[in-house]
């Protein structure tokens, strides 16, 4: 059985034929058939990569969601071994009632474990925990024509490093062993602070980050002049007592894809002004559930459909600490002047914990992420200007979110790409890798 699959941004539009894997033995069988007929394939999790890194060059992918089982759990020491297609939401459903939490979670709980490793995702606590890959102890990697290889820091360490953040190109991750962190509650003690300009974000981050597990900021990307960079700063910690329950599944969903984007300059201005004013000027504290804190967008299933049939692109960059303030100010100025922007514009500080992965995205500095409805002006006008600012600031873009980065920028930003290429499984190739490694 197969069905058409897409990336989360639906851009580029490249429907994928998914060859569903329910058992680990299916992976080798399906991969063998595809490679014999088409030449190459690619593992595909739950389709949460935004651009073309999850799209096979041949449009024939191994759909891994059927591998969604727990293999083993140690509830004393907080170790779980799970199949690669299980989502973070499915992991939490089992671990949270027992008082264990994943040490790193991105902005959606619907990413698979394999996808989290392949993209070495990060969360609101990179300054304390680093990336997801930093907490992976071992995984099973199936390479074409070879028995499953066990990879860890001691076993096949070269493949271990290349696979974490390796975009699914070194082999198919079939299972992984992960270390969890203990928690006493799934609820979060949250503090919210409104700030009036970008400089205040840096002051709040310097003051508050070290004292809290989680830290993130929303930015009004359309604000200009003295208001440029205004936003809402949010920090949080797991409550010391309370219920231990996973996020409640959402009952809201976008039922269909409209022919046009519902995100435009008018709706953005109304939302951004209203969201900023909805938060009081004074500092507030409250306790909220894990879903609104970690996964605000997961409350609306298929929210990506609001961008219409042309889809959208996320622009996520990270700028090193020394250049971050000036570069982010310039990025926000160019974005505001363009009149294009995003409902959810996010600033996060990345810490100094080094990932074990060769191509991990974060570096010590500040990350900015915005979603743009796709249109021709993005790649012809706006993105080249943003890319130049990121380049001048010594920053780089996030491959898991990218659909436009030039090969030259990628190879300069990720100089260890040739090490990954040397370890790439020849049976695996993505549209992203083909695009950015062509010299």
| Mean pLDDT (whole number) for 129-145 | 97
Q: Match 């989290």 to its residue by tokens.
A: 116
Q: List Cα–Cα distances, 109 to 20, 87, 106, 147, 200, in angstroms.
A: 21, 7, 7, 31, 30
Dist. CA 357–CA 169, nearest whole Å = 13
Above 50 in pLDDT, residue 4? Answer: yes
Residues above pLDDT 70, as percent of the chain: 99
Q: Taking the CA atoms of the chain, what radius of gyration do you get in angstroms?
A: 21
The pLDDT value given to residue 2: 53
Average pLDDT over residues 374-378: 92
Q: pLDDT grade, residue 3 (50/70/90)?
A: low
CB atoms within 10 A of CB 208: 15
Using a 10 angstrom Cβ sphere, with 0-12 exposed, 13-18 middle and 19 or more buried, the burial of residue 259 is exposed
Element holding 235 (H helix, E strand): strand 231-238
Asked whether residue 74 carries a pLDDT value surpassing 90, the answer given is yes
pLDDT at 7: 97
Helices (H), 209-299: 265-278, 290-294
**Cα 243 to chain centroid, rounded:** 27
DSSP class of residue 112 equals B
Q: What CA–CA distances, in Å, run from 41 to 11, 37, 48?
A: 19, 10, 18
User: Are 217 and 347 contacting, i.e. CB atoms less than 8 angstroms apart?
Assistant: yes
- Measured distance CA(217)–CA(208) in Å, rounded: 12
Mean pLDDT (whole number) for 236-247: 94
DSSP string, 212-226: -SEEEEEE-TT--GG
Residues 6 or more apart whose CB falls under 8 angstroms from that of 346 comprise 107, 216, 217, 218, 219, 367, 368, 369, 370
Convert 356-376 to b/e letters by CB count within 10 Å (16 or more is b): bbbbbbbbbbbbbbbbbbbee
CATH no. of 187-406 = 3.40.462.10
> Confidence class of residue 315 from pLDDT cuts 50, 70 and 90?
very high
Per-residue pLDDT averaged across 23-45, rounded? 97
CA distance 420 to 90: 30
Q: What are the structural domain ranges in the chain?
A: 70-183, 187-406
Give the pLDDT score at 172.
Answer: 98
Q: Is the pLDDT score of 213 beyond 50?
A: yes
The arrangement of strands across the sheet holding 60-63 comes to 4-5, 16-20, 60-63, 42-44
Better-predicted residue by pLDDT, 140 or 265: 140
Tell how far CA 110 is from the center of its chain: 11
pLDDT on residue 66: 97
CATH fold group of domain 70-183: 3.30.465
DSSP count for the chain of H helices, then E strands = 14, 21
Concatenate the DSSP letters of all residues of 179-198 into one string. Answer: E-EE-S-SSEEEEEEEESSH
DSSP state for residue 381 in the 8-state scheme: I
Instruction: List C-alpha distances in Å: 199 to 227, 324, 328, 333, 370.
Output: 11, 11, 10, 14, 19
At residue 253 the predicted structure's pLDDT band, cuts being 50, 70 and 90, is: confident
| Greater model confidence, 169 or 339 | 169
Of 318 and 226, the one with more pLDDT: 318
Average pLDDT, the chain: 95
For 156-210, how does the pLDDT look when each residue is reduced to its tens digit (9 = 90+)? 999 999 999 999 999 999 999 999 999 999 999 999 999 999 999 999 999 999 9
Same fold yes or no, 70-183 and 187-406: no
pLDDT at 366 over 50: yes
Flag whether pLDDT at 1 surpasses 50. Answer: no
Contact assessment for residue 164 and residue 182, using Cβ atoms and an 8 Å cutoff: no
Q: Report the run of H or E that residue 158 belongs to, with start and end.
A: helix 157-163
Closest CA to 131 of 413, 317, 362: 362
Q: Of 188, 191, 225, which is closest to residue 333 (Cα–Cα)?
A: 225
Distance between CA atoms of residues 171 and 167, nearest Å? 10
Average the pLDDT over each of 37-46, 306-315, 341-350 and give the range with the smallest value.
341-350
pLDDT computed for residue 341 by the predictor: 78
pLDDT above 70 (res 375)? yes
Q: Per-residue pLDDT averaged across 382-396, rounded?
A: 98
List the beta bridge partners of residue 349.
Answer: 366
């Amino acid at each position: 059985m197969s069905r058409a699959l897409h990336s989360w941004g639906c851009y580029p539009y490249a429907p994928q034929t998914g060859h569903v894997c329910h058992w680990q033995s299916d992976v080798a069988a399906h991969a063998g058939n595809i490679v014999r007929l088409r030449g190459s394939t690619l593992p595909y999790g739950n389709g949460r990569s935004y651009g073309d890194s999850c799209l096979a060059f041949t449009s024939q992918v191994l759909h891994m969601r059927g591998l969604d089982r727990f293999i083993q759990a140690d509830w004393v020491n907080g170790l779980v071994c799970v199949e690669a297609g299980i989502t973070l939401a499915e992991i939490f459903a089992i671990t949270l009632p027992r008082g264990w939490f994943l040490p790193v979670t991105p902005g959606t709980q619907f990413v698979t474990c394999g996808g989290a490793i392949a993209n070495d995702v990060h969360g609101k606590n990179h300054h304390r925990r680093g990336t997801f890959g930093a907490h992976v102890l071992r995984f099973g990697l199936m390479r074409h024509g070879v028995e499953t290889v066990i990879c860890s820091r001691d076993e096949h360490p070269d493949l271990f490093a290349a696979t974490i953040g390796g975009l699914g190109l070194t082999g198919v991750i079939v299972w992984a062993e992960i270390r969890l962190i203990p928690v006493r509650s799934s609820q979060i003690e949250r503090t919210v602070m409104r700030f009036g300009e970008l400089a205040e974000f840096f002051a709040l981050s310097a003051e508050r980050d070290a004292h809290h597990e989680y830290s993130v900021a929303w930015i009004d990307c359309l604000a200009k002049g003295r208001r440029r960079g205004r936003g809402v700063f949010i920090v949080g910690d797991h409550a010391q007592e309370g219920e231990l329950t996973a996020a409640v599944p959402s009952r809201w969903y976008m039922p269909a894809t409209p022919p046009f984007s519902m995100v435009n300059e008018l709706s953005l201005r109304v939302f951004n002004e209203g969201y900023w004013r909805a938060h009081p000027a004074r500092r507030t504290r409250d306790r909220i559930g894990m879903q609104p804190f970690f996964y605000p967008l997961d409350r609306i299933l298929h929210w990506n459909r609001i961008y219409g049939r042309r889809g959208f692109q996320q622009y996520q960059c990270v700028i090193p600490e020394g250049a971050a303030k000036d570069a982010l100010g310039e990025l926000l100025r160019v974005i505001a002047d363009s009149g294009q922007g995003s409902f959810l514009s996010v600033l996060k500080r990345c810490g100094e914990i080094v990932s074990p992965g060769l191509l991990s995205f974060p570096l010590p500095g500040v990350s900015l992420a915005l979603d743009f409805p796709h249109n021709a002006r993005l790649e012809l006008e706006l993105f080249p200007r943003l890319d130049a600012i990121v380049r001048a600031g010594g920053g780089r873009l996030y491959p898991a979110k990218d659909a436009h980065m030039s090969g030259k920028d990628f190879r300069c930003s990720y100089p260890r790409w040739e090490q990954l290429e040397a370890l790439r499984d020849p049976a695996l190739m993505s549209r992203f890798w083909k695009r950015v490694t062509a010299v």
